[in-house]
């Protein structure tokens, strides 16, 4: 049942780009930007910003932007503002943290469900690598295998909170319990999961939670959130002259200050998707729950429509998932399907989408992967209908 109380028309009207008439089902690769985020970025530039730590007001403004951004990201994921490390994207930050956390003599556990950005940074540390396998039919990541994979030499377990192609939400909390019992750290990739529902990194058992603002209506900025006390124990490579405090120690070079103002505006936007009261954290939890319900109700129509078409193969059937579908159409390459849909005004992705190990496990990486159609909070029933109609025409 579609939720009639979710204010979809109001939400859509915040996004100027949606006026071009395309059905934006490519949100898993990056969402569109609402007006308040565009305004916040341009307001930062208009007001005048300087590098942080100077003796003049424009420098203070940048300092305030950074502090507000850390507080906003902490509210979004349930973390501590002093543990929010900001950077250009999740991949860059994960490489940086991986070098500081693991090395030869350690063991790391990675999974074939993960985006490559939560695999290669760990496998390239020189640590011994242990692999968690996926069930290629269901798209699930069975938890039981972790009891054998995690041992006393395990330094870290890296796992995604949701697959960026199948949408699978593995039981991260159960994996974290096994990791913590063995004294290992948990690095959770929340890039795909964050836009699709409320996040509580502590409930997930995440020692590190990575996210990217451009997946949830913000600018191209990444963040990794951890307990500041844990960050204090790590020594990343850094310049002699840059701050040694936490979290600044993990941030290289000059930040994109105006974009950070946009990140805060994006969090405020998400907190206000539905009317609510209370702290921003409380409003975020309510708003993102409503968004998840909205997405999953639409997704039920989308996935049922695809699964009943005889010329379509849908990959995975995970029990808990985001509104993300990955499929192929008989007689057409994924690229041909994406081009056909683009011609009908429907944006979808084709390829492996950096889910390198997973598309390998599905046996489709070398043949061009598949087509990904994903829903976010601004998608509506007509987006779904246009996708289904376009795919049906290929039958
Ligand atoms: C699940 C997942 N993890 C990591 C990444 C990489 O994020 P970034 O582009 O911020 O490096 C992506 C990007 O698509 C993703 O979907």
CB distance 262 to 37 below 8 Å:
yes
**Which residue from 293, 211, 390, 316 is spatially nearest to 6, judged by alpha carbons?**
293
Closest CA relative to residue 236, chosen from 220, 249, 255, 254: 249
CA triple 63-68-71, angle to 5 deg: 130
Pairing of strands 324-329, 370-374: antiparallel
Sign (positive or negative) of CA dihedral 216, 157, 201, 303: positive
Q: Is the Cβ atom of 168 under 6 angstroms away from ligand 1?
A: no
Q: Each residue of 138-156: pLDDT tens digit?
A: 999 999 999 999 999 999 9
Across-strand partners of 313? 328
- The response to whether residue 87 sits with its C-beta less than 6 Å from ligand 1 reads no
The verdict on the CB of residue 120 being under 6 Å from ligand 1 is: no
First to last CA, the chain: 27
> How far apart are the CA of 90 and the centre of ligand 1, in A?
6
Distance, in Å, from the CA atom of 303 to the CA atom of 295, rounded to the nearest integer, reads 12
Rounded to the nearest whole angstrom, what is the distance from the C-alpha of residue 198 to the centroid of ligand 1? 18
- Relative to beta strand 349-351, strand 346-347 is unpaired
Whole-number pLDDT of residue 20 = 97
Q: Is the CB of 161 under 6 A from ligand 1?
A: no
Whether 187 shows a pLDDT value over 90: the answer reads yes
Of the chain, the percentage scoring pLDDT greater than 90 comes to 99
Report the SS3 class of residue 305.
helix
CA of 143 to the centre of ligand 1 (A): 23
**How many whole angstroms from 340 Cα to the centroid of ligand 1?**
26
Q: What is the structure's pLDDT at 4?
A: 78
Q: Tell me the Ramachandran region of residue 78: left when phi exceeds 0, alpha when psi lies from -120 to 50, beta otherwise.
A: left
pTM for the predicted model, two decimal places: 0.98
Structure tokens at 119: 């695999």
Write down the H helix ranges in the chain.
8-13, 35-47, 57-77, 90-101, 120-123, 146-149, 172-181, 201-204, 228-232, 257-271, 280-307, 334-343, 356-361, 381-392
Question: What is the Å distance from ligand 1's center to 25 Cα?
Answer: 17
Radius of gyration over every alpha carbon of the chain, rounded to an integer in angstroms: 21
Q: How confident is the model at residue 3 (pLDDT cuts 50, 70, 90)?
A: confident
294: Cβ below 6 Å to ligand 1? Answer: no
Q: For residue 216, how far is its CA from the centre of ligand 1 (angstroms)? A: 12
Residue 31 Cβ < 6 Å to ligand 1: no
With a 6 A CB cut-off, is 191 part of the ligand 1 pocket?
yes
User: Cβ distance 324 to 164 under 8 Å?
Assistant: yes
Atom number in ligand 1 closest to CA 220 = 10
pLDDT tens digits along 271-282: 999 999 999 999
3-state secondary structure string across 77-126: HCCCHHHEEEECCHHHHHHHHHHHHCCCCCEEEEECCCCHHHCHHHHCCC
């Amino acid at each position: 049942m579609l939720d009639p109380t979710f204010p979809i028309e109001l939400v859509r009207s915040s996004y100027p780009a949606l006026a071009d008439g395309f059905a934006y089902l490519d949100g898993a690769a990056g969402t569109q930007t609402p007006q308040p985020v565009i305004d916040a970025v341009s307001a930062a530039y208009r007001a005048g910003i300087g590098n942080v730590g100077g003796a003049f007001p424009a420098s203070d403004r940048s300092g305030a932007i950074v502090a507000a951004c850390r507080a906003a990201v902490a509210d979004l994921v349930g973390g501590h503002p002093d543990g929010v490390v900001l950077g250009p994207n999740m991949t860059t930050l994960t490489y940086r943290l991986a070098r500081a956390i693991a090395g030869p003599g350690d063991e790391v556990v990675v999974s074939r469900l993960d985006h490559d950005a939560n695999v290669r940074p760990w496998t390239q540390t020189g640590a011994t690598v242990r692999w968690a396998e996926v069930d290629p039919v269901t798209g699930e990541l069975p938890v039981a295998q972790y009891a054998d994979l995690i041992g006393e030499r395990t330094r870290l377990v890296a796992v995604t909170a949701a697959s960026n192609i199948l949408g699978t939400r593995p039981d991260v909390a159960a994996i974290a319990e096994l990791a913590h019992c063995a004294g290992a750290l948990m690095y959770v990739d929340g890039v795909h999961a964050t836009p699709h529902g409320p996040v509580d990194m502590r409930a997930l058992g995440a020692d590190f939670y990575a996210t990217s603002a451009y997946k949830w209506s913000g600018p191209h900025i990444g963040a990794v959130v951890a307990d500041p006390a844990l960050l204090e124990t790590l020594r990343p490579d850094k310049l002699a002259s840059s701050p040694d405090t936490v979290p600044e120690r993990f941030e290289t070079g000059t930040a994109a200050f105006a974009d950070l103002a946009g990140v805060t505006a994006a969090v405020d936007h998400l907190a206000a998707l539905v009317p609510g009261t209370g702290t921003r954290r409380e409003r975020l939890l309510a708003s993102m729950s409503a968004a998840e319900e909205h997405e999953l109700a639409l997704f039920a129509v989308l996935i049922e429509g695809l699964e009943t078409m005889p010329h379509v193969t849908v990959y995975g059937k995970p029990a808990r998932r985001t509104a993300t579908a990955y499929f192929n159409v008989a007689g057409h390459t994924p690229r041909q399907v994406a081009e056909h849909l683009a011609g009908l005004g429907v944006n979808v992705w084709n390829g492996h989408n950096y889910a390198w190990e997973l598309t390998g496990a599905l046996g489709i990486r070398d043949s061009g992967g598949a087509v990904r159609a994903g829903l976010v909070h601004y998608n509506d029933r007509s987006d779904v209908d246009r996708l289904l109609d376009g795919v049906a025409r290929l039958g």
